[in-house]
Amino acid sequence: MCGIVGYIGHKCARPILIEGLKRLEYRGYDSAGLAVLNDGQVAVSRAVGRIANLEARLNGDGANATIGIAHTRWATHGGPSERNAHPHIAQNGRIALVHNGIIENYRTLRTFLEGMKVCCQSETDTEVLVQLIGHFYKGNIEQAVRDALHEVQGTYGIAVLCADEPDRIVVARKGSPLIVGIVGPGEYIVASDAAAIVQHTAQVVYLADGEMATIARDGFRTTTLENVPVTKEVQAVEFSLDQIELGGYEHFMLKEIFEQGQSLSMTLRGRLNTREGVIHLGGLANHTRDIARARRLIFTAQGTAWHAGLVGEYLFEDIAKIPAETEYASEFRYRNPLIEPGTVVIAISQSGETADTLAALREAKEKGALALGVINAVGSTIARESDAGVYLHCGPEIGVASTKAFTSQVAVLAMMAIQLGRRRFLSQPEAKNLIDALARIPGQVSAVLEQSEAIRKAVEKYIHRENWLFLGRGYNYPIALEGALKLKEISYIHAEGMPAAEMKHGPIALINEGMPVVFIATRCSQYEKVLSNIEEVRSRGGRIIAVATEGDEHIREMAQHVFYVPDVPEPLQPLLTVIPLQLLAYHAAVLRNCNVDKPRNLAKSVTVE
């Protein structure tokens, strides 16, 4: 979950590395560091905290260097400290390494190194790897890296410098993304995310698991770990620089919330034919018949994407009439899941690199399932390893708390359910009604966003309360879970989401005078039941914050605060009802002086287990 940047070329490396780290800071911000090769020496700078702290540490040493590597850390082994910050240096002082991932057998390797009189200075698993490379180094850094990686168990994305070979960077990956950006003749940028590259070039090569590359001033070559040459395709980055800039917004999360009309339009574009009432999903074209014949669907994901999968479960059973279930990816592969003939597994991930989700996808494929991906990042590992899939095309998402990716995930799952429904039991008029309604959703987002200030004023009354409940039923039960997660993630308020009826089976004991309880109470098949649940909370002194359907005046008599969403078919309500809850969490975090885009202990892309 850390961020890696490397540069080799004719420009001064440090400004490029620092700028790249700033664009990757959402991937980790416990500490940061960089190493450049300067006058035959490795010059290292490290600092705890944000990139600005590292920048303040830099002096004239290495200012003119034209090759270097850098890192922003999300701590796993060893707490945030300067000695645990990357880059780590081999005992000989001549080799530097940055690493994303976890070396699972680091204790065994550390014991081996100690027997060889090699001492580690940090608490990290990463330092063991650079010391191992130093142990194997015999004048060829590429071979030393290869030899060391053959001894490693775990995941890694690494970049390595050697003062004795000052015109090359060696990189390798297994389970953690790495991209090589081709800037121009003799100039390359390496990064764990295209956000650090796009300012300089749109031409990139994605490394696959088990591959390494040696990048020199006269070109680069890619091989497997067994030194078999690999021919790589140069691809174009899908997004532009302005898409990862704040653009006048105070925070990326706020920008991404307000982009949802546009991002949903991008997700739907070219896929909805409202005139004929049909859906075209090109990424599934070769497998649509097999999916329509599926006996069982399993959605697998983590976090917010898991909530999208829960919505998908409702959509596929309701519209496509296919049995469906949603599994935490982190549990799926470890419980020896039963994958019967006719099972389709759909992995959902914004980054396409989520370690648990990738592992679940591989487990499903190993057991014979048709494996599909619902992914945002083009060229990501899950996208490459899926049998087929659908890209979100919602643009880059920088805020750690996912917003626009969630609504695009739900939109894609809705399109898939409608398309499959037409091949099964859904009539043409029913399908066209849903397609027409889906096409209107991007334009209806603005009506919800206009209530942002009213939501802020309501939230201001309750930010001192440390316990909240979020309640919904049917399609809006997953939205209750998502609303609670957003509040926890960025404001550090404890919140629980659950089906509204479940409240009576224990959690109602938590309700006391003044406790905020958020209800998704839109007009739906269980509307009257939700109103009864509201009454149960009111009678115990809870304060009701309701998300309701436009025109519903009755609910104003029952709630202290009401925020409205346009009236849409029940299966599509989550696309709109989630937005007030995103704004609620955002304003709560700002009012509590929390760092919205970089919440404590979290990182955007979880590439370790």
The answer to whether the CB of 1 falls within 8 A of the CB of 355 is no
Contact 293, 420 (CB under 8 A): no
- The CA distance from 220 to 379, in Å, is 20
Give the number of other Cβ atoms within 10 Å of residue 289's Cβ.
9
CA 393 to each of CA 20, 345, 411, 435: distance values in angstroms, whole numbers, following the listed order: 23, 21, 11, 19
Q: How much of the chain is in helix, strand and coil states, percent to nearest 5? A: 40, 25, 35
Check 174, 432, 486, 604 and give the catalytic one.
Answer: 604
Name the token pair of 548: 């309701």
Under a CB-based contact definition with an 8 Å cutoff, are residues 348 and 391 in contact? no
Catalytic pick from 2, 162, 394, 524? 2
In 3D space, the residue among 300, 304, 289, 302 whose CA is nearest the CA of residue 253 turns out to be: 304
Tell me if residue 576 falls in helix, strand or coil. Answer: helix
Amino acid, single-letter form, for residue 506: G
Q: By the 8 A CB rule, do 3 and 27 touch?
A: yes
Q: List alpha helices for 353-467, DSSP H.
A: 355-366, 381-385, 404-422, 428-449, 452-460
Active site (annotated) includes residue 529: no
Contacts of 464 (CB under 8 A, 6+ apart): none
DSSP state of 475: G
- Which residue carries 């003119």 as its tokens? 64
Query: How would DSSP label each residue in 82-129?
Result: TTTSSPEE-TTS-EEEEEES-BTTHHHHHHHHHHTT----SS-SHHHH
Question: Distance (Å, rounded) from C-alpha 353 to C-alpha 175?
Answer: 8
Residue 174 β-bridge partners: 156
Sheet holding 543-549, edge to edge: 494-499, 467-472, 516-520, 543-549, 561-565
C-alpha to C-alpha distances, 99 to 131, 190, 388, 607, nearest whole angstrom: 13, 13, 30, 12
Q: What is the amino acid identity at position 328?
A: Y
Tally of CB atoms within 10 A around 282: 11
How many Å apart are CA 521 and CA 533, to the nearest integer? 10
For residue 440, the one-letter residue type is R
Is the bond preceding residue 396 a cis peptide, omega within 30 degrees?
no
Q: Report the C-alpha gap between 172 and 159 in whole angstroms.
A: 7
- Dist. CA 62–CA 268, nearest whole Å: 49
Question: Other CB atoms closer than 10 Å to residue 294's CB: what's the count?
Answer: 20
- Record the tokens describing residue 182, joined without a space: 């081709």
Query: Does the active-site annotation cover 404?
Result: no
Specify the DSSP element, H or E, that contains 161.
Answer: strand 156-162
Residues whose CB is less than 8 angstroms from the CB of residue 355 and which lie 6 or more positions away in sequence, other chains included: 155, 175, 606, 607, 608, 609
Residues involved in catalysis: 2, 604
